[in-house]
Amino acid sequence: MDSLSRHEDYGQESLDESQLVTNPIEQFRNWLVSAEEAGIYEPNAFVLSTVTSANTPSSRTVLLKGVEDNGFVFFTNFSSRKGQAIEQNPHVSAVFGWYSIYRQVLIEGTVERVSERDSEEYFHSRPHESQVAAWSSRQSEPIESRSMLDERFGEALKRFDGQVVPKPDYWGGYRIVPSRIEFWKGRSNRMHDRIAFARTLEAENWKVTRLQP
């Protein structure tokens, strides 16, 4: 396990206040494009952390499907473990780790559901089989075996053969409305650059702060 004792140099490229745009969502868009251009696999994947009303944290990877002026959109099953945590407590955090370009973005905020229309529109843009899968899997619930899951999928494929698959009520989009977005750029000697944008949820203006690495 060589990785445990390696000491990578994170390079000289800096993150300077003068390079940042004043709106962190715009800045995020710029960095996502850079991650795409760098050829990062699934650059829109991020780790979403939730906390239940009993203070139990949990994390998992999801895919970002929209960067809107008011937040970051992903789609999932509302009845899943994450969905239940979000319904109990809308406060979440998100981590985009673009390690090969020495960049990380941390987002904190509260989650709201996107409109039914937006969920419908995205659901119907997915491949037919993915739409059918949303009916075949009660995400996060236990199942006896893989064969049982395959059987359910097979049945649903038959049921919806040649038909428009309706969006299940329990499936749709969430938007993370950010209150804090931190941009991290790795630098040599662990003297990294960290710039955080923060606002109260009601406020329009972002306060920009440089943090020690």
Ligand X SMILES: Cc1cc2nc3c(=O)[nH]c(=O)nc-3n(C[C@H](O)[C@H](O)[C@H](O)COP(=O)(O)O)c2cc1C
Q: Which residues bind ligand X (CB under 6 A)?
A: 42, 45, 58, 60-63, 74-77, 80-82, 139-140
Smallest gap from residue 203 Cβ to ligand X (A): 30
Cα–Cα distances in Å, from 86 out to 111, 116, 137, 148, 177?
A: 7, 17, 20, 29, 13
For ligand X, the closer of residues 19 and 130 by Cβ is 130
For the chain, the straight-line distance linking the first and the last C-alpha, in angstroms and rounded, comes to 27
Smallest gap from residue 202 Cβ to ligand X (A): 29
For ligand X, the closer of residues 89 and 139 by Cβ is 139
Smallest gap from residue 6 Cβ to ligand X (A): 24
Smallest gap from residue 78 Cβ to ligand X (A): 10
Q: Of the residues 190, 194, 199, 210, which is catalytic? A: 190
For the question of residue 190 being annotated catalytic, the response is yes
Spatial separation of the C-alpha atoms in residues 51 and 88, rounded to whole Å: 8
DSSP label at residue 89? -
Spatial separation of the C-alpha atoms in residues 176 and 29, rounded to whole Å: 15
For ligand X, the closer of residues 55 and 205 by Cβ is 55
Q: Give the pairing of strands 193-198 and 171-185.
A: antiparallel
197 Cβ contact list (under 8 Å, min separation 6): 24, 27, 180, 181, 182, 206, 207, 208
For ligand X, the closer of residues 58 and 115 by Cβ is 58
**Could you list the active site residues?**
190
